Structure 1
C-alpha cells in the first residue's frame, strides 16, 4: 500500500501487488535482461503506477528494484503491467479480448520496424518505451522502463497546450506515415493487427455503450436549444453501433480503393501519453492498435485529447498540421503508393462521421467527467445513475451545443 498517501487517488485493485510480483520474480527478469546470472534484488518497493481515471483495461504497478551484481549496487525504476486477476466487472469486461497479445505484438514487431524505417530516413523519433520483459503464461505481464525518473509525466488537472498538441500530432503523423509504407510494401507484416473496438464483444454489450444513445437523447430533451437536433439522432439510434463499426472495420471488411489506411493507436487519449517539457511526448498503451482508416486516431483525439475550445472547428488547423508532417514523412521514407491529399483526408473525415456521432454520444460525456475528476472511472462504467449525470454536466452540454452546430454547418446531418 502507498505510504502516507490518500488511497482514493488510486485504482482499488492496484493498492496491493499480487503475491507473484515479488523480489524473486523481478530478480529473474533482471538477470535475463542484464545478462547477469549472479544478480540479486536487495530491495523492492511496489506502488500503484497510475491515478484514478488513467486506465481501466489493465493493472499497473511502479517499482524501483535495488540490486547487486559483481560490478556493484544498482537500481532500476520499472513499470509492471498485467491483466486483472480479481473477479469482478473489470476482469469480465476484458474476457476473451486480444488486448494483451496486441500490445506485446506492437512492442516486439511493429514499433521496432517503424523506428528502423525512420532511422534509415535520418529521423531519430522515438516511438515507444523499451519493453524489458513480456509473458503470456502462466500470466500476462509486461515490464517497461519507468519514464517518470526521466522527466516524463501524464498531464492531469490542466488543459493540454497548443504546443503539446502539435508535438502529439507530429509524432502521430510519422507513425501513421511509416505504417502506411509498411502496409504498401509488406502487407502481411501487420496482418495480425485486426482487433479493435468491434472485436471486443463484452465492450459492445456493456451498458456503458448500449445506453449511450438513450442517455444522449434524454439530454437533448432537457436542453431547449438542442431539441431541434433530436430527429437526427432518433434516425440513427437503432444502427449507430453498426454504422460506427463499418467505419472501424472498413480496412478488413469493406476496403476502399481511395481509402487511407494505417496502423492506428486505437485509444488515443490524453492519459495514454506522457510529456517531457512541451516538446517531447511518448505514447503508451497499444492494446487497441489495429489496421483501420487514418481518420480513427484523428477523430478519437478530437474528443478525447483536445479541449472544447480546441475542437470547435473539428480540429481543422491541427489536423492540417498533422497532414503536412504525414506528407513530408511519406516522402522522406520513400513511400511508393499513391500519395494522400489534404482534400482526400477531409473527404474521409466527413465520410466517417458516424464515428463522431458515437464518440459524442457515448465516450465524450464519460471521459469529460473523468477528466474533471467528477466521478471515479469504475463508478462511471458500472453505475447507470452516475453515467446519466455525466450527460447533464454543464461543460459537456456547452461542448455539445458547439459541436452540433458545427456538424450542421459542415453537413454531417445530410443524407443520414
Structure 2
C-alpha cells in the first residue's frame, strides 16, 4: 500500500485486505479483490473541512468477476488530541453513525415507496464505534460529484436543488418520527445545549461573534450594530438555549444542522449547471424546527445579493417540496403552511446571525489551511490571528455590511 506522500501516515488498520472484506460484505460479492491501494488525505488544499474528523481517500484497483476497474472510498476517522476530545464528548461520531445507519436509509426507503429515487447522501459501506469510531463511505467523486468553488457563496442554481433535498429529508423524518418517536430520541439535543460535555465546543460561537464585533467597531455608521454585536457575543449561548427550548412545541424534523457549502457536493452537466447535490456531514444532526437548516444554509452559504432578490421564492420552493412529500406519504400530522415556515424562520433568526458571523468567514477565508478546531473554539494566538484575517477579508466585508444592515432592519440582532 502506498500513500503518495513522504509525510502522510494513514491509519494502521486501513489495509487492502480489510477494505476487500468490507466491500465483499456490502456488495454481497465474494469475487471482489482490492489491489494496488494508495491512501491519501482527502482534505483539499485551501478547503476548510474535516474540523472534527480525519478524512482519507483510499484509491485502488477493484476486481469483480475477474473484471478490473478503478475505485475509491472515503474514510472518516476519529481525530486525535484536542479535536478528538471534543468529538468524543459531543458524541459527534455516534450521531453521524446513527444518521447513516438508521435515519438516512429509512428516508430513502420511504421516498422509494412514492416512486422517488432521490439519493441524499453517500452510501455507507461500514461503521464501527470500537475501539474508536470511523465510517467508510462512498466516494462521490467516482460518480462525478465535485465540491463547490473555494471562496465563493452559492447562487440560485445551487441553492434550489439543495433546498429540495432538505425539504424531502425534513418531510420524511417527520413521517418516520410520527410512526416511531423513539427513532429520533438521540437527536433531541440541539447543537447548543446545556450538556456540560459540550462546553469546549460551544466556545466557537461567542469568540467568533466578538471578533466580528471588533472589526465592525471600526466602520463608520455601524455604531448601533457594533453595540448589539458585542452584547450578542456575551449572550449568544443563553439566547440560543431559549430558542431551542421552543422547538419541542412545534413541527419537528431531522436537521443536518451543519448545512453549508463544504458539506455539499454537486454533479454538473456539460454546461456546468448543477444537476444533483449530495449532503455529506451529519455529526451535529438534530431533531427540531426546520428553520434550523433553512436559516443556517441561506444566511451562511448563499450569496447575499441572491438572498436579497430570491429569499421568499426559495422558501416557497422549500415549502412546496415539503408539502408535496408529506401529502404523498400520507402524513397524519398538521402540515405547516408557507406562513408557518416564515414565522419559524423569524423565530429562529439567531441561527442565521450565527451562520453569517461564525461560518461565512470560513467559506471566504483566503488561508490555505484546512483549519484547526482548537483555534476555532478558543482564544489561541493562532485562532485570533485567523479570525482577524477572515473578518478583514474584502469579500467577507462586502457580504457582512449588507447582511448586518438586513439583520438590523429585521430586529435579528436584538437580544
- Give the TM-score of the pair, scaled to structure 2: 0.86
Mapped to 2, the partners of 1:164 and 1:37 lie a distance apart of: 40
* RMSD value, Cα: 2.7
Contact 1:250–1:292 (Cα < 8 Å) also in 2: no
Asked whether 1:105 is paired with 2:98, we answer yes
Residues 70 and 216 of structure 1: is their aligned pair in 2 closer, same or farther, counting only changes over 3 Å?
closer
Contact 2:206–2:236 (Cα < 8 Å) also in 1: no
Contact 2:52–2:87 (Cα < 8 Å) also in 1: yes
Query: Secondary structure of 2:253's partner?
Result: strand
Range that drifts further, 55-64 or 398-407: 398-407
- Paired residue for 2:170, among 176, 182, 191? 176
- Paired residue for 1:261, among 252, 273, 276? 252
Higher relative contact order (CA 8 A, sep 6+): 2
Range that drifts further, 144-153 or 58-67: 58-67
Structure 2 counterpart of 1:392? 392
Asked whether 1:322 is paired with 2:318, we answer yes
Residues 73 and 366 of structure 1: is their aligned pair in 2 closer, same or farther, counting only changes over 3 Å?
closer
Structure 2 counterpart of 1:201? 198
Mapped to 2, the partners of 1:18 and 1:336 lie a distance apart of: 47
Mapped to 2, the partners of 1:34 and 1:356 lie a distance apart of: 41
Asked whether 1:60 is paired with 2:55, we answer yes
Range that drifts further, 280-289 or 51-60: 51-60
Query: Secondary structure of 1:192's partner?
Result: helix
Residues 247 and 313 of structure 1: is their aligned pair in 2 closer, same or farther, counting only changes over 3 Å?
farther
Query: Secondary structure of 1:224's partner?
Result: coil
Range that drifts further, 69-78 or 265-274: 69-78
Structure 2 counterpart of 1:245? 241
The count of corresponding residues between Structure 1 and Structure 2 is: 397
Asked whether 1:333 is paired with 2:324, we answer no
In the alignment, structure 2 segments of 5+ residues that lack a partner are 269-273, 377-381
Mapped to 2, the partners of 1:306 and 1:108 lie a distance apart of: 30
Structure 1 counterpart of 2:303? 307
Contact 1:261–1:293 (Cα < 8 Å) also in 2: yes
Residues 42 and 126 of structure 1: is their aligned pair in 2 closer, same or farther, counting only changes over 3 Å?
closer
Structure 1 counterpart of 2:107? 114
- Paired residue for 1:281, among 261, 277, 283? 277
Mapped to 2, the partners of 1:72 and 1:331 lie a distance apart of: 45
Residue deviations 1:241-276 (CA, integer Å, cap 9, x gap): 11123334543xxx22xx221100110011111111
Asked whether 1:270 is paired with 2:261, we answer yes
Q: Please report how far the alpha carbon of residue 390 of structure 1 lies from its aligned counterpart in structure 2 after TM superposition.
A: 1.9
Residues 249 and 270 of structure 1: is their aligned pair in 2 closer, same or farther, counting only changes over 3 Å?
farther
Range that drifts further, 389-398 or 288-297: 389-398
- Paired residue for 2:78, among 83, 91, 96? 83
Residues 296 and 20 of structure 1: is their aligned pair in 2 closer, same or farther, counting only changes over 3 Å?
same
Query: Secondary structure of 1:62's partner?
Result: strand
Asked whether 1:230 is paired with 2:226, we answer yes
Structure 2 counterpart of 1:145? 138
Mapped to 2, the partners of 1:168 and 1:180 lie a distance apart of: 18
Residues 324 and 241 of structure 1: is their aligned pair in 2 closer, same or farther, counting only changes over 3 Å?
same
Q: Please report how far the alpha carbon of residue 373 of structure 1 lies from its aligned counterpart in structure 2 after TM superposition.
A: 4.5
Structure 2 counterpart of 1:160? 154
Contact 1:197–1:203 (Cα < 8 Å) also in 2: no
Residues 73 and 313 of structure 1: is their aligned pair in 2 closer, same or farther, counting only changes over 3 Å?
closer
Residue deviations 1:286-338 (CA, integer Å, cap 9, x gap): 11111011101011102332122223368332122111111111111111111
Structure 1 counterpart of 2:15? 22
Contact 1:133–1:144 (Cα < 8 Å) also in 2: yes
Mapped to 2, the partners of 1:406 and 1:311 lie a distance apart of: 11
Structure 1 counterpart of 2:209? 213
Contact 1:195–1:288 (Cα < 8 Å) also in 2: no
Mapped to 1, the partners of 2:171 and 2:109 lie a distance apart of: 13
Structure 2 counterpart of 1:191? 185
Q: Please report how far the alpha carbon of residue 210 of structure 1 lies from its aligned counterpart in structure 2 after TM superposition.
A: 3.5
In the alignment, structure 1 segments of 5+ residues that lack a partner are none
Query: Secondary structure of 1:134's partner?
Result: strand
Q: Please report how far the alpha carbon of residue 109 of structure 1 lies from its aligned counterpart in structure 2 after TM superposition.
A: 1.1
Residues 274 and 236 of structure 1: is their aligned pair in 2 closer, same or farther, counting only changes over 3 Å?
closer
